[in-house]
């Protein structure tokens, strides 16, 4: 490392031991980073092609208000998403307030009373428990007499084929498959494994709707789940596909009928996709989507770097240092609150915004234990930006993600290590 760069890191408050250790780890990751770059390059071209094919023009960035009839920018963007992700249609809206909302919308609009929802990949993301009614809540699927069945993954992370076959019945209408691990320490599913699962399910029941919770998965691989048989993919624009620029939003992409159901529920029966003003944020949606492949690649490098750093220091990391990646999340199990909080303090201290605050646990809506979150983001709660969070309970696992650039992700990880090092929660001497 040259002297100038070393000085810059020191200015931020990093010790030489931490910097040197980080450099050593990074030097071992060159070939992994090359593969990540190759995927980003292919995905960049995919997005570019979709924008050219759909004749994206300066008019697309104009703002609409009121009903938003004939909003060229909104309608064209939905075609760009559909072409990029290989769906028939898409709903990409600022009126979809977050990922949970997008998922709730997809479920509540495509299920009817008497239907059953199945998760063949274990417990879904925490906030979906109230959507489904696993934890009772107003307006849940359970309140509408939509039942829920779940088949857990086997101990080795594999699918429980027999269990899935046994539970599918005449009422099974929709299958929800979460690509990312969420707040669980199970492996993330690759697009190919999702494809195997969907083929198996469609073989038993061809007309079942297969939905993939695609949060954190977009642009991590060359393929997306619609290319392996999914009917719907759902995600948040303050994660990967917003590229860090979208200030709000969610998307649903897939079969025309599924999207139509969702649009009729988001706005109103009869109105569907025809209304919904874009209020001047279209440029950020387009530009963010354009940048998303490279932003995602930077975040992915950060995750790989973090896994290699913390595994070397003796912590359990999921995925581990060498496993393939299918989302941008890195879990690190610290086993105690002190180390977990030190990690989060470091991430916060590395942020461009609110770097001077110290994160603390709080009872976040939708979660059943205190959650600590470190994020100094331009967009509130954006987790494509450098961020870390986790429920403060056993095994004290932190979920790290994001970084709008690889350099910032790297700095965040080094700063987290700095906090652990200063508190003597890790030893670096013999590793340097
Ligand atoms: C983030 C996330 C959600 C929920 O998204 P919010 O925007 O936080 O509401 C759902 N599922 C998964 C897998 C996620 O990562």
Per the domain annotation, does 430 fall within a domain? no
pTM of the entire predicted model:
0.96
* 432: confidence class by pLDDT, cuts 50, 70, 90: low
- Position 399 scores a pLDDT of 94
Residue 366 pLDDT > 90: no
What whole-number distance in Å separates Cα of residue 169 and Cα of residue 94?
A: 36
- 27-36 mean pLDDT: 97
- Ligand 1 atom nearest 128 alpha carbon: 10
In contact, 103 and 131? CB cutoff 8 Å: yes
Per the domain annotation, does 429 fall within a domain? no
Residue 183 pLDDT > 80: no
State which of 235, 258, 280 marks the end of a domain: 280
State which of 228, 253, 280 marks the end of a domain: 280
Same domain for 36 and 133, yes or no, is: no
User: 349 alpha carbon to ligand 1 midpoint, in Å?
Assistant: 24
188 CB near ligand 1 (under 6 Å): no
Percent of the chain with pLDDT over 90: 93
182 CB near ligand 1 (under 6 Å): yes
Which CATH number do you get for residue 343? 3.90.1150.60
Per the domain annotation, does 432 fall within a domain? no
Per the domain annotation, does 337 fall within a domain? yes
Same domain for 18 and 114, yes or no, is: no
Same domain for 149 and 269, yes or no, is: yes
387 CB near ligand 1 (under 6 Å): no
Per the domain annotation, does 155 fall within a domain? yes
416 CB near ligand 1 (under 6 Å): no
CB atoms within 10 A of CB 339: 21
Same domain for 255 and 148, yes or no, is: yes
Same domain for 308 and 273, yes or no, is: no
364 CB near ligand 1 (under 6 Å): no
* 426: confidence class by pLDDT, cuts 50, 70, 90: very high
Percent of the chain with pLDDT over 70: 99
Which domain does 92 fall in, by range?
64-280
- Position 46 scores a pLDDT of 98
- Position 67 scores a pLDDT of 96
User: 124 alpha carbon to ligand 1 midpoint, in Å?
Assistant: 10
213 CB near ligand 1 (under 6 Å): yes
Same domain for 126 and 186, yes or no, is: yes
3-state secondary structure of 233: strand
Which CATH number do you get for residue 262? 3.40.640.10
Indicate the top mutation candidate among 123, 182, 218 to test ligand 1's pocket, ranked by most ligand atoms within 8 A of CB. Answer: 182
Strands 232-236 and 209-213, sheet pairing: parallel
- Ligand 1 atom nearest 238 alpha carbon: 7
- Ligand 1 atom nearest 180 alpha carbon: 13
- Position 232 scores a pLDDT of 98
- Position 431 scores a pLDDT of 66
Strands 371-375 and 387-391, sheet pairing: antiparallel
Per the domain annotation, does 47 fall within a domain? no
> How many domains is the chain built from?
2
- pLDDT by residue (tens digit) across 130-179? 999 999 999 999 999 999 999 999 999 999 999 999 999 999 999 999 99
Same domain for 22 and 70, yes or no, is: no
Cis before 395 (ω within 30): yes
State which of 221, 253, 280 marks the end of a domain: 280
Same domain for 258 and 321, yes or no, is: no
User: Of all protein residues, whose CA lies closest to atom 12 belonging to ligand 1?
Assistant: 215
- pLDDT by residue (tens digit) across 198-210? 999 999 999 999 9
Residue 181: what are its φ and ψ, rounded to 5°?
-80, -20
- Position 84 scores a pLDDT of 98
* 369: confidence class by pLDDT, cuts 50, 70, 90: confident
- pLDDT by residue (tens digit) across 232-264? 999 999 999 999 999 999 999 999 999 999 999
What whole-number distance in Å separates Cα of residue 374 and Cα of residue 409?
A: 13
180 CB near ligand 1 (under 6 Å): yes
């Amino acid at each position: 490392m040259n002297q100038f760069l070393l000085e810059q890191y020191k200015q931020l408050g990093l010790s030489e031991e931490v910097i040197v250790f980080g450099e050593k780890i990074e030097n071992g990751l060159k070939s992994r980073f090359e593969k990540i770059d190759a995927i980003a390059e292919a995905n960049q071209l995919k997005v570019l092609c979709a924008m050219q094919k759909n004749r994206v023009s300066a008019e697309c960035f104009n703002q609409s208000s009121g009903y938003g009839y004939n909003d060229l920018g909104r309608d064209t963007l939905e075609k760009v998403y559909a072409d990029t992700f290989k769906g028939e249609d898409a709903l990409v809206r600022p009126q979809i307030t977050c990922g949970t909302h997008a998922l709730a919308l997809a479920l509540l609009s495509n299920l009817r009373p008497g239907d059953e929802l199945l998760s063949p990949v274990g417990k879904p993301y925490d906030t979906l428990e109230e959507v489904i009614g696993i934890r009772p809540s107003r307006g849940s699927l359970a309140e509408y007499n939509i039942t829920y069945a779940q088949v857990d993954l086997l101990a080795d992370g594999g699918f429980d084929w027999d269990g899935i076959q046994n539970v599918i019945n005449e009422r099974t209408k929709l299958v929800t498959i979460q690509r990312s691990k969420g707040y669980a320490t199970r492996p993330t599913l690759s697009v190919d494994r999702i494809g195997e699962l969907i083929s198996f399910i469609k073989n038993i029941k061809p007309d079942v709707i297969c939905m993939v919770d695609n949060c954190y998965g977009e642009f991590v691989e060359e393929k997306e789940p619609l290319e392996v048989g999914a009917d719907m993919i759902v995600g948040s624009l303050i994660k990967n596909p917003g590229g860090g620029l979208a200030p709000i939003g969610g998307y649903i992409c897939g079969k025309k009928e599924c999207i139509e159901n969702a649009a009729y529920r988001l706005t109103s029966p009869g109105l569907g996709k025809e209304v919904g003003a874009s209020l001047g944020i279209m440029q950020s949606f387009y530009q963010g989507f354009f940048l998303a492949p490279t932003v995602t690649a930077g975040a992915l490098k950060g995750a790989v770097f973090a896994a290699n750093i913390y595994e070397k220091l003796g912590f359990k990391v999921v995925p581990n240092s060498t496993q393939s990646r299918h989302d941008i999340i890195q879990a690190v199990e610290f086993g105690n609150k002190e180390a977990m909080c030190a990690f989060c303090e470091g991430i916060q201290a590395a942020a461009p915004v609110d770097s001077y605050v110290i994160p603390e646990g709080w009872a976040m809506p939708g979660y059943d234990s205190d959650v600590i979150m470190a994020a100094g983001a331009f967009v509130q709660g954006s987790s494509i930006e450098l961020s870390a969070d986790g429920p403060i309970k056993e095994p004290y696992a932190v979920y790290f993600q994001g970084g709008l650039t690889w350099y910032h992700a790297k700095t965040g990880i080094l700063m987290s290590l700095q906090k652990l090092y200063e508190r003597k929660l890790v030893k670096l001497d013999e590793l340097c």
